[in-house]
Chains A and B, each alone.
Chain A
Amino acid sequence: MKVFISGGCKNGKSYYAQRLAKEQQKKDLYYVATMRPGDEEDIERIGRHIHEREGWGFSTVEQYEDIDQILQICDPQGSFLLDSVTALLANEMYKKKEVNIAAGDKICWELQKVMNVIEDIVIVSDYIFSDCMVYDVLTEQYRKALAQIDKTAAAGCDVVLEVVYSNVVVHKGGELFEADHWGSLSREAYVCT
């Protein structure tokens, strides 16, 4: 099953996504890490995430750009967790001196390829669209591109979830999501403490 998850920060998305990916593991279990560490804070955050995943059985694949490359590197029959398209977009958009405004289109295209081939994947994004800030042009382009990616991923996934402070709102695929083996996972997200 393909699941798209978004929501505000520190709502428990990543930990919940991890559980979903683990839940649908049949063969290999992949964690597609997208955050290119930029500073001490990033290294700390990544360390925390690695620690959280210990003992879960994830193979970590570092893919900071060209996301469709995971189709070459991994067994497409595995269960994937892609966390997150937010970081992926930042990497693609700002990888050179000049901002790549086509990054959104590129990721949408590559994600579609990924979603066509891989059966079991959980894709995580961040919901940054309901404030009243007036942003500079570059940030606004980033917001627009992320929304484009979110809409593409949501259209391609079987289930679309919004995590709101550990509660799960099902926007798409409710019947599928609540079917049998998803059981207790389906309604309540778990915040890792």
Chain B
Amino acid sequence: MKLIIGGAYQGKLTYVLEQYQVDKEEVYYASMTCSELPADKKIVYHLEQWVLACQKEGRNATEKLNEYLQKFPDAVLICEDVSCGVVPVDPKVRQWREAVGRCTAALSQRADEVVRLFCGIPTKLK
């Protein structure tokens, strides 16, 4: 599995499309309203939104991700870095931010490759 991280608008999706020569149709666009992961796609964009959906629906994100990765061991997961701002006042947002952090850290340990995008430039962290 490959993990692609970086702040908002830093070029994460563009990097994946170019680097792995894939079409946008092959990418699953996660949203905060659906905690399901795709049955037929191995590229997930906005993983942080999916984590929020899990939180809203009271589902265990780590377990669901483990199942997904068993099916797609060569998945490409794209996650926005939301970790660097002021601690959010809203406890739900706080929990979400922490959940994304824990999730990303765990995925990072598991990943074959971790790439961070900064102003469109990729750096391989692992």
Q: What residues make up the interface of A, taking CB atoms closer than 8 Å to B?
A: 4, 6, 8, 127, 129-134, 143-144, 147-148, 150-151, 153-155, 160, 162, 171-172
Contacts and interface: CB of A to CB of B under 8 A. Distances in A.
Contact of B88 (A129, A132, A147, A153): A132
Most buried by A among B6, B8, B10, B119: B119
A151 B6 CA distance: 13
Nearest to B14: A151
Interface of B: 6-11, 81-86, 88, 93, 96-97, 100, 118-121, 123
Contacts of A143: 8-9
B67 to A, nearest CB: 26
Nearest to A144: B9
Given A132-B97, A147-B10, A162 B118 contact: yes
A129 B7 contact: yes
A130 B120 contact: no
Given A8-B84, A130-B84, A154-B120, 14 more contacts: A4-B119, A6-B119, A129-B10, A129-B81, A130-B81, A130-B82, A131-B82, A132-B83, A133-B86, A143-B9, A144-B8, A150-B119, A151-B120, A171-B118
A contact patch SS: mixed
A156 B67 CA distance: 43
B85 A171 contact: no
Given A4-B119, A171-B121, A151 B8 contact: no
Contacts of B120: 150-151, 154-155
Contacts of B11: 151
B93 A132 contact: yes
Contacts of B96: 132
B17 to A, nearest CB: 15
B118 A131 contact: no
